[in-house]
Structure 1
Amino acid sequence: MNVSRREVLVGGATVAVACVAGPAFAEDYPSRPIELVVPWGPGGGADQLARKIAQLGEPEIGKPMPVVNIPGGTGATGMAKLLSNPADGQTAAIYIADAHALLAGKSPRWTMEDIAPVAVLIQAPSFIFVAQDSPHKTWDDFAKAAKEQPGALKVATLGFGSVDDFTLSFLASKGVKVNQVPFSKPSERYVSILGGHADALYEQAGDVGSFLAGKQMRPLLVFGSERFAAFPDVPCSKEAGFDIALPQFRAIVVRGGTPPERVKKLSDALEKVAATDGYKAFLKEQFAKEDSFIGSAGAGAFVAKQLDDMKAAIKQAS
């Protein structure tokens, strides 16, 4: 095979350019806007987080983060959208405890290996809320009614197979049996107790903050081992005799297999976002822990631990 001197020179130059340009292109992340998938409808806590991150994150990330709501299947539909995209970090998703709970059930649609946790952004306890004028003035009132008439009281939840479901199943195993009423749309779930469609609501305080401020609803019980500072008169589940606390967490994940350097770069940018006054104010509005943030170095272990706790709760309930 005859190869001219010119072809050798051109070919060599091409290889040289590729060797020099290759790493530079690899480091050029993000190369375009990062699509942020919210596996829930507009208006809920996950959506609020996504829009806050999109607002505060662009200066740190260097690219916009358009928010795309894809509700359905307790988060499964939105997660399918994430997992159908390349593992390049250009698509991320808000990942919350309720979607994560699906991995504790039978035949989950994804596994821990399919996702790469970038950062945990919110950690907050869950509550049982009632309307302000509810006849159940205390948790003891509510628990007594549930024991006397099993299944008569209706509790609005996100859906079956969620953290809400696991917690209520645990309570049922201890004699506090209620009728779970799922609402896929956050707005409908929140107002269900105001319109008489449910007797109580399982939710996080930040998601119903406006209703609490307006004296439209009040908490009866906080799930955890201690009382919550914002509601000092509200008992915690442990003191009420129920040793269960599945906190709600909200994180950002990308598809498993995304290059670690990209995961870290995105995590580092989100850490800067979490340190801003605007995000700290947002955490306070959400009744979340001030030290909620966990970067990519620890987010995977945190999420794995939450799954272990969920499986333990299911085992206790059964």
Structure 2
Amino acid sequence: MTHLTRRHLLASAAGAGLVAPLAAPAIAQTFPARPIQMVVPWGAGGGTDATARIIATLMEKEFGQPVNVVNRTGGSGVVGHSAIATGAPDGYTIGMITVEISMMHWQGLTQLNPESYTPIALMNEDPPGVQVAANSRYADLKALADAIKASPGRLKASGTGQGGIWHLALVGWLGAMGLPASAVPWVPSNGAAPAMQDLAAGGVDIVTCSVPEAKAMLDAGRAKSLAIMAAERNPQFANVPTLKEAIGVDYTVGAWRGIAAPKGLPAPIAERYTAVCKKINESSEFRSFMSARGFGVRWADATGFAQFMAAGNTSMGVAMKAAGLARGS
């Protein structure tokens, strides 16, 4: 091999090395070139669907391409979450993942977990409140907590199905107080609305569900919220204290929604998505939409979202094991 040929090969290799870094940003500049599919693991008309559709609408304005929401339901969330995880990592399939991704694998329903995705952004979180009937003898959370400690097993709670997010919120709160899950037996329901009806009728003593879900009964004067399991008060329910304020227990949990893509999404596209989601999260259109429905707005970028999910995944595992509901790992 001549010196000249060798020099040409080295120059070509160097040039090739320069091409890759320059090409990556170009991907983001030309993206998207066609419509995007946003997969939603839950049914049309629900809170997750509504949140996804406002994000998709605002995303279309930013990208100049259609963002089509596709509801892939079934398997307690497994079907839709799987459709997001197994999509092509090219940016044209994204989805709205929810708190259930931190729960389903513990239940043995799937091997999917928060690390099965490219995280893009956390957009929403709704922490549960601790609701009692309007005529309940418990005027504040301390009185309720003292009653639970004094007579474990006497008071009953509801809010969702067995092993659902609001059941685990109760179990986590009890655990933070040093109590077993059996200290407040769970009565499964088909959701927060029927549970709140049961609360008002005297069928159960406590309902753990998001305060927005309880709002109708609160506004009707048939229930009262004693605390929320959040780090800060909800501005829309500013008179409801946090657990820490009420009884000194520093425990937080919530139902959340975020945008994610299949694992392996090129970094330039992922970063573009995160920037667009941040703009949407801060927009008056998004905030007005969420506020009108009582949904909480929360922001975390890709790194923060990954850390948020990892912490939630651990706490869900603890709660499920405490409740005897863990079937997987």
Residues 196 and 94 of structure 1: is their aligned pair in 2 closer, same or farther, counting only changes over 3 Å?
farther
1:67 to 2:73 alignment: no
In the alignment, which of 10, 31, 37 is matched to residue 35 of structure 1?
Answer: 37
Q: Hey, what's the Cα distance between the residues in 2 that align with 1:70 and 1:193?
A: 33
Please tell me the residue identity of whatever aligns with 2:52: A
1:154 to 2:153 alignment: no
In the alignment, which of 47, 57, 60 is matched to residue 58 of structure 1?
Answer: 60
Which moved further from structure 2: 307-316 or 244-253? 307-316
Count how many residue pairs are aligned between Structure 1 and Structure 2.
296
Any idea what SS the aligned residue of 1:251 has?
Answer: strand
- 1:303 aligns with 309
Q: Hey, what's the Cα distance between the residues in 1 that align with 2:91 and 2:199?
A: 40
- 1:174 aligns with 179
- 1:4 aligns with none
In the alignment, which of 232, 244, 253 is matched to residue 251 of structure 2?
Answer: 244
Q: Hey, what's the Cα distance between the residues in 2 that align with 1:132 and 1:68?
A: 40
Please tell me the residue identity of whatever aligns with 1:261: P
The TM-score, its normalising length taken from structure 1, stands at 0.74
Contact 2:101 2:113 in 1 (8 A): no
Q: Hey, what's the Cα distance between the residues in 2 that align with 1:192 and 1:203?
A: 13
Which moved further from structure 2: 140-149 or 50-59? 140-149
Contact 1:157 1:180 in 2 (8 A): no
Q: Hey, what's the Cα distance between the residues in 1 that align with 2:57 and 2:213?
A: 19
Residues 256 and 139 of structure 1: is their aligned pair in 2 closer, same or farther, counting only changes over 3 Å?
same
Residues 275 and 228 of structure 1: is their aligned pair in 2 closer, same or farther, counting only changes over 3 Å?
closer
Q: CA RMSD in A?
A: 3.7
Any idea what SS the aligned residue of 1:30 has?
Answer: coil
In the alignment, which of 139, 156, 165 is matched to residue 167 of structure 2?
Answer: 165
1:257 to 2:264 alignment: yes
Q: Hey, what's the Cα distance between the residues in 2 that align with 1:297 and 1:213?
A: 38
In the alignment, which of 97, 104, 125 is matched to residue 102 of structure 1?
Answer: 104
CA-CA distance at 1:132 after TM superposition: 4.2
Please tell me the residue identity of whatever aligns with 1:150: G
Q: Hey, what's the Cα distance between the residues in 2 that align with 1:279 and 1:205?
A: 20
Q: Hey, what's the Cα distance between the residues in 2 that align with 1:188 and 1:64?
A: 37
CA-CA distance at 1:253 after TM superposition: 0.9
1:115 to 2:122 alignment: no
CA-CA distance at 1:94 after TM superposition: 1.6
Which runs of 5 or more structure 2 residues have no equivalent in the other structure? Answer: 1-18, 325-329
Aligned pairs (5 A) from 1:4-23: none
Q: Hey, what's the Cα distance between the residues in 1 that align with 2:49 and 2:214?
A: 13
CA-CA distance at 1:118 after TM superposition: 1.0
- 1:14 aligns with none
Contact 1:36 1:93 in 2 (8 A): yes
1:275 to 2:277 alignment: no
Aligned pairs (5 A) from 1:133-212: 136-140=138-142, 142-143=144-145, 146-147=148-149, 148=151, 150=153, 152-157=155-160, 159-160=162-163, 162-170=164-172, 171=174, 174=179, 177-183=183-189, 193=199, 198-212=204-218
Please tell me the residue identity of whatever aligns with 1:156: G
Contact 2:159 2:195 in 1 (8 A): yes
Any idea what SS the aligned residue of 1:234 has?
Answer: coil
Q: Hey, what's the Cα distance between the residues in 1 that align with 2:195 and 2:96?
A: 20
Contact 1:156 1:192 in 2 (8 A): no
Please tell me the residue identity of whatever aligns with 2:184: V
